[in-house]
Amino acid sequence: MTAFEDLMRHERETQALAQVAGRLGWDQETVMPRGAAEQRGEEMGAMESVLHARRTDPRVGDWLDAIDPATLDAAGQAQLRHIRRDHDRARKVPARLAAEIARVTSVAQAKWAEARAADDFAAFAPVLREVVALKREEGAALATGGDVYDAMLQDYEPGTTAAQIGAIFDAMRPRLVALREKVLAAAPAPRLAGHFDETEQMRLTRAIAKQFGYDMSRGRVDKAVHPFSSGSGNDVRITTRTSPTDPFNCLYSTIHEVGHASYEQAIAQDYLLTPLGQGVSMGVHESQSRIYENQLGRSRAFTRWLHGQMLESFGDFGIPEAGDFYKAVNRVEDNYIRTESDEVQYNLHIMLRFDLERQLIAREIEVEDLEEAWNARFLADFGYAVDRASNGVLQDVHWSVGLFGYFPTYALGNVYAGCLHEALRRDVPDLDAQLEQGETGPATAWLRENLQRHGGLYEPRDTIRRAAGQEPSEGPLLDYLEAKFGALYEL
């Protein structure tokens, strides 16, 4: 066997083990008995230790050195790029530091949950300081002299810099703030009323998942506290949740997760259990979940079809007209919480976090300043004050578990979705006529063909550029939002 074959065989087994570890995560959130939590911690720890040993295996370095990339095709070269990046990353972080981060973030996550319940940022600040110090140290080790925050970003959006993201966000902010103000000054959209049977919500949510092309023979839909998608290749599971008064929570969580899951399912089977066999970045992943959820799922055309389905499922819920139903689906209202936010305001929540975490990593602010900085920025962008920490700086788990560099990929996903949506509308001119029938086939086929099947073959920005036929930029998203909500709220 050649060095490349040896390397890929090793990698394939590593990827298979990573799938097993991921499935343990699914199990934990859906079916695990509660008394198993502590034992599960040891099982996960053992899997992580096996995976870490494989990633830092010195043979990987030897194989990488022995391979002449010129002898490989484009896919082979892309495999090497991923493997080299992971191997370099694993070797740059001392085992002592990796273990310490794992230990402290585990404590910090528990402290965060307590502090959030008590609305007490001061109770969380000491352990967050420890997390930030460790992550700064890790970032410095990864950056090897370069920008620390940029180095962190590479875990989530390889090849993208904070400066690139900052430029996009700076262009978005004034237009989004202005759009938000206008929308909230207009007459509010209607709301659903009544009780929505949760069993029927799950039936309808599964039907809609299939409608969006989710392959149920290689996946499944279960309930969990938080919606998520888990796994790659031929075992990609999603979760959703139900609320008796808010069926949109269930249905749109499902459509969002189906976007993630369909991406994983659509990747070329040639890449199965290899580094190319997964979505290429968090931002590109989020572009898929968002275009399914928003540009398709919350379109006037699709909500017309959905309205009929909901009437069939639940009878009268106070909105007999499809036009009003479209408004209800796209209702914009004041909300402190990012995860409950709408298309207009969501990105403002992200920009706030991006700016704060960049400053924090760059030591321009410290953990002590974080709550005040959060509240000041929120007031500036949203026009009203944060009333308590759980509605502000304590609302998200991310920082407690050390995820610095993750937040911007959510908004980047929206930007990418805007670009893809523009290209999709150009290539599928009768899209709305299809969506009105609940037919998402042409749209999802376009995404599969132009983006999803490539998996990790191209770098994230290249992946979007090739599919959208243009350099990624914020313009299409902003144009789309202004047009959609301008018409909706008759601005």
Give the residue among 366, 333, 370 at the shortest CA–CA distance from 353: 370
Binding residues among 450-489 for a second copy as defined by CB under 8 A: none
Options 36-44, 106-114, 115-123, 150-158: segment touching a second copy (CB under 8 A): 36-44
Which of 2, 5, 39, 321 is in the footprint of a second copy by CB under 8 A?
Answer: 39
Active site includes 114?
no
Is residue 15 a contact partner of residue 54, using CB atoms and an 8 Å limit? Answer: no
Size of the site for a second copy (CB under 8 A): 37
Asked whether 397 and 112 are in contact (CB, 8 A), the reply is yes
31 makes contact with a second copy (CB under 8 A):
yes
Q: Is 40 in the site for a second copy (CB under 8 A)?
A: yes
Q: What is the distance between the terminal CA atoms of the chain, rounded to a whole angstrom?
A: 66
Told to check if 224 binds a second copy by CB under 8 A, we report no
Nearest alpha-carbon partner for 409 in 460, 366, 452, 335: 460
User: Of 11, 138, 157, 257, which is the active-site residue?
Assistant: 257
Using rule CB under 8 A, residue 220 touches a second copy: yes
CA-closest candidate to residue 414, choices 354, 367, 360: 354
Token pair listed for 431 = 């899209």
Span of 126-134, 218-226, 371-379, 399-407 interacting with a second copy by CB under 8 A:
218-226
Identify the burial level of 464 via C-beta atoms within 10 angstroms of its C-beta, where 0-12 means exposed, 13-18 middle and 19 or more buried. buried
Give Cβ neighbours of residue 340 (< 8 Å, ≥ 6 apart): none
Pick the piece of the chain touching a second copy (CB under 8 A) from 26-34, 390-398, 451-459, 483-491. Answer: 26-34
Does residue number 35 form part of the binding site for a second copy (CB under 8 A)? yes
1 lines the binding site for a second copy (CB under 8 A)? no
Task: For residue 180, give both structure tokens.
Answer: 């938000």
Give whichever of 48 and 114 is closer to a second copy, judged by the CB atom.
Answer: 48
Q: Please give the C-alpha separations between residue 369 and each of 365, 377, 427, 440, in angstroms, as whole numbers.
A: 6, 12, 49, 47
Given candidates 2, 5, 16, 487, which one binds a second copy under the rule CB under 8 A?
A: 16
> Edge-to-edge strand order for the sheet containing 221-223?
221-223, 237-240, 229-230
CA distances from 218 to 109, 231, 266 (A): 32, 10, 11
Site residues (CB under 8 A) for a second copy, limited to 271-300 = 272-273
Q: Which of 11, 19, 349, 374 binds a second copy (CB under 8 A)?
A: 19
- Given the complex with a second copy, which of 207 and 216 has the nearer CB atom? 216
Q: Is 24 a residue that touches a second copy (CB under 8 A)?
A: yes
Q: Which stretch binds a second copy (CB under 8 A): 17-25, 161-169, 374-382, 449-457?
A: 17-25
Distance in angstroms (rounded) separating the CA atoms of residues 117 and 120 = 8
* Residue 402: Cβ-neighbour burial (10 angstroms; 0-12, 13-18, 19+): buried
Is residue 213 near a second copy by the rule CB under 8 A? no
Scanning 134-142, 227-235, 319-327, 433-441 for contacts with a second copy by CB under 8 A, the matching segment is 227-235
The yes or no reply on residue 210 touching a second copy (CB under 8 A) is no
Binding residues for a second copy, rule: CB under 8 A, are 12-13, 16-17, 19-20, 23-24, 27, 31-36, 38-40, 42-43, 45-47, 49-50, 215-220, 233-235, 237, 272-273
Catalogue the active-site residues: 257
